[in-house]
Amino acid sequence: MGIEIWHIWIIVAIIFFILEIFSPTFLAASIAIGYISAGIFAHFDFGIKIQLIAFSLGTILSFLAVRPFMLRYAHKKNQHIKTNVEALIGKVGKVTIAIDNSKNQGRAMVEGDDWRAETEDDSIINVGEKIEVLKINSTILIVKLITKN
């Protein structure tokens, strides 16, 4: 038993699914779905005309129906994952050395690391008070006092 036409349809579909990994537009996957449709009809011994119609309809339907769904929910646009020090923004910490910009002093413990810290508004924050990281300037955390309610 040799290779049959439906095997070729399915092999090409697999190749297109692999190509989709490198171009997350769901275009190659839509074409792959068309190849699978044709492969199914070829497996049941439908003629080449029916296989081509199945390929065309499978591709068009998946492109029009599934692609918008996948682009909306599977591929998040402008997805930005915070890494390194950028991930500290918004984190809460504790002052270990009083923060006083006028004396050029201040340190805070955030996420287990000790950082040089300054306040954005030149206010003084005492040892033991909780702070929130607003931004990072080089290796210095710019923080604000978390007020007690």
> pLDDT confidence of 94, banded at 50, 70, 90?
very high
Between the alpha carbon of residue 36 and those of residues 23, 24, 65, the distances in Å are 19, 19, 16
Residue 35, in any domain of the structure: yes
**Which of 21-35, 100-114, 135-149 tops mean pLDDT?**
100-114
What confidence score (pLDDT) does residue 75 get? 59
CATH classification of the domain holding 100: 2.40.50.140
Residues 135 and 97 in one domain: yes
Domain range for 138: 84-145
- pLDDT digit string (tens) for 21-61? 888 778 899 999 999 999 999 999 999 999 999 999 999 99
Residue 38 resides in a domain: yes
> Domain for residue 131, yes or no?
yes
**pLDDT for 1 beyond 70:** no
Q: Does one domain contain both 10 and 64?
A: yes
Instruction: Note whether 10 and 61 are same-domain residues.
Output: yes
Residue 70 burial (10 A CB sphere; 0-12, 13-18, 19+): middle
* 107, 122 Cβ separation under 8 angstroms: no
Distance CA 89, CA 95 (A): 16
Query: Does residue 30 form part of some domain?
Result: yes
Whether this prediction's pTM lies above 0.85 is answered by no
Using alpha carbons only, how large is the chain's radius of gyration in Å?
A: 29
100 and 51 in a single domain? The answer is: no
Three-state SS at 131: strand
Q: Assess if residue 79 is contained within a domain.
A: no
Query: What is the C-alpha separation between 104 and 108, in angstroms, rounded?
Result: 14
Into how many domains does the chain fold? 2
78 inside domain: no
Q: Are residues 14 and 61 in the same domain?
A: yes
Contact criterion met (CB below 8 Å) for 39 and 13: yes
- Check whether residue 11 and residue 46 sit in a common domain: yes
Give yes or no: residues 20 and 50 share one domain.
Answer: yes
